[in-house]
Structures are given as C-alpha cells and as structure tokens.
Amino acid sequence: MPFISYTFTIGETVYEDDCTPEIRNMCYTAMREGKMLQTSAIQPATYEAFFREILEKGCDLIYTDMSRAISSSIEHAEIAIEKLRGEFPSQRIHFIDSFSITGGLHLFVKKLVALKEEGKSFDEVVEWGEAHKKEYIHRFMVEDLQWLRRGGRLSNASAFIGTLLSIKPMIYVTEEGKLFAWKKVRGRKKTVHELVLSMQEDLSEETSSEITVISADDREDCEAVVRLIKETYPQFKDAEIPVMDLGPTICAHVGPDFLAICYHGRERVISG
C-alpha cells in the first residue's frame, strides 16, 4: 500500500520515518538519553507528487491520515487535493479525516482496504468509512506527560503538572479526534490493568477481529497485555491480537514506554 513518510529531526539531522527497526531503535535510544525529536508536517508539494502518481495511473483516490486535531499535515493534504481535482476532473478523490491515530488508524485503513478487496465500490467504501470512522477506540498510557505537553497535544495536561512520576495518565482519543487524559492511576502495572478493564465500556461485536496492542519499546510488556485481555474477556481467548511497534513520528510526542490498546468498538464514550 503506498504511503508518505513523515520526517523528524534530532539535533541538526533530519531522518525519514521509514518504519524500519533500525530507525525506531535509534529514536528510542536518543529519547532515553534526553534528546528531543522535532517532527515536521508533510508539505503540500509532497502530497501533490504522491497523489499525482496515483491519479496518472487512472485510479480514483481515497486518502486518510491521522486526526486533524493532532496533525497540521491534513490541511496540506487538502491543498494538494483541491489542486488535483481541477487537473483530474474525471477521477474521484475523497479525503477522510479518520479522527484516529496509531493503531486505530491502522485498523481503519485495513478495514477500508478489505472492503475494496471484497468488491465494494468507491462510493460504498467512502460511505462505510465516513459512517464508522469514530468507532475506532484508542486507550493508552504514557510514562511521562512531558512529551505531550511539549507538543501541545494534550489540552488538559495542566491538570497533571506536578504529579509524581509514579502517577500514570490514561489517555483516550475523543470523538473530536483529540487527546484527553481521563484518569490517573498510581503505578504502571495497575494502570495497564485499568486500561484493559476500561475496554468493557465501548466493546462491540467487531472487536474480536479488529484489535491490536502497540508498544513503544517494550514488546514483552505488550505481550503481557495481550494475555491479560484474553484472560479478562473470554470472547477474545482465541482472537489474534497482534503487537505493533510505534514509529518515531508518534513516539516523539508520547515518549518511551508508551503502551496502547486500539480496537473497533462502539461510539467513543469519553469526551473532553
């Protein structure tokens, strides 16, 4: 599947987030050493070149990315799309604001691709995506809120300023695609347990086939979460629950030791 890589900077050096283990490990090591990663929005010209290559093959285009509330890149994508609509009037281009990030976006894109492979039409895929995009649930924890505060991506981060490091904030992606720190729990082990228990609030019949756990740099911890999910919810005991590795672009804003559970649920139940 074609995609555009984001870039990030450490010091004076610019790197491409190419999803390889090497670039991921380098990123985590740098952050644990106290180095800051700066991410950059994808520019309109990059989007235009990427979309043009697809359209020149005669294909219609459905494009989605992380939530508009999280990334300004969305506005740049829309600039490119509007320009190309005029150049390719006979082809359809549709942008879907996913209101999702990380694993939720991954599951959403997988579903759209599956619908296309099942033989659904362009309009049917778009209709399903627009109707169900806010059903993808994100529950995660960060080890230290400094990363989210620095990036300005957590509106109520001030409520946690001054808390002890043993207090772990639990984050939820709201219906508006924003990050909301909805609960704080003392200790990582207890926080993980609370994350799993909180899933009962918005599970759906679709969840068993669309669920993933995301690791920043501790797959062993995530595999323990998979086991806990299966122990807590008998309906998932035979489900395949993959563990994904978080890339540098997102890790730059959440920090090492991030852990997330993402799944296809019902409507999002927490607002902020």
pLDDT in tens, 27-62: 888 888 888 888 888 999 999 999 999 999 999 999
Residue 81, by phi and psi: left (phi above 0), alpha (psi -120 to 50) or beta?
alpha
C-alpha closest to that of 137 among 94, 198, 216, 186: 198
- The alpha-helical segments, DSSP class H, found in 121-218 are 122-132, 146-151, 188-198
pLDDT of residue 160: 52
CA distances from 251 to 46, 124, 183, 265 (A): 23, 34, 21, 24
Entry pTM = 0.89
Question: Distance between CA atoms of 37 and 7, rounded to whole angstroms?
Answer: 10
260: exposed, middle or buried (C-beta count within 10 Å: 0-12, 13-18, 19+)?
buried
Reading the block at residue 145, the tokens are 């809120």
β-bridge partners, 213: 243, 261
pLDDT of residue 20: 83
Question: Distance between CA atoms of 103 and 261, rounded to whole angstroms?
Answer: 8
- Beta strands 259-264 and 136-141, pairing class: antiparallel
Question: Distance between CA atoms of 10 and 36, rounded to whole angstroms?
Answer: 7
pLDDT of residue 165: 56
The sign one gets for the Cα dihedral 246, 252, 258, 263 is negative
Q: What count of Cα atoms within 13 Å lies in the side-chain half-sphere of residue 239?
A: 25
Residue listed under structure tokens 């599951």: 107
Question: Which residues in the chain come in under a pLDDT of 70?
Answer: 1-2, 145-166, 272
CA distances from 6 to 9, 17, 20, 44, 145 (A): 11, 6, 13, 13, 23
β-bridge partners, 39: 8
Reading the block at residue 9, the tokens are 């900077």
pLDDT of residue 86: 94
- The alpha-helical segments, DSSP class H, found in the chain are 21-32, 44-55, 73-87, 102-117, 122-132, 146-151, 188-198, 219-232, 248-254
- Residue ranges of domains in the chain, CATH in brackets: 135-264 (3.30.1180.10)
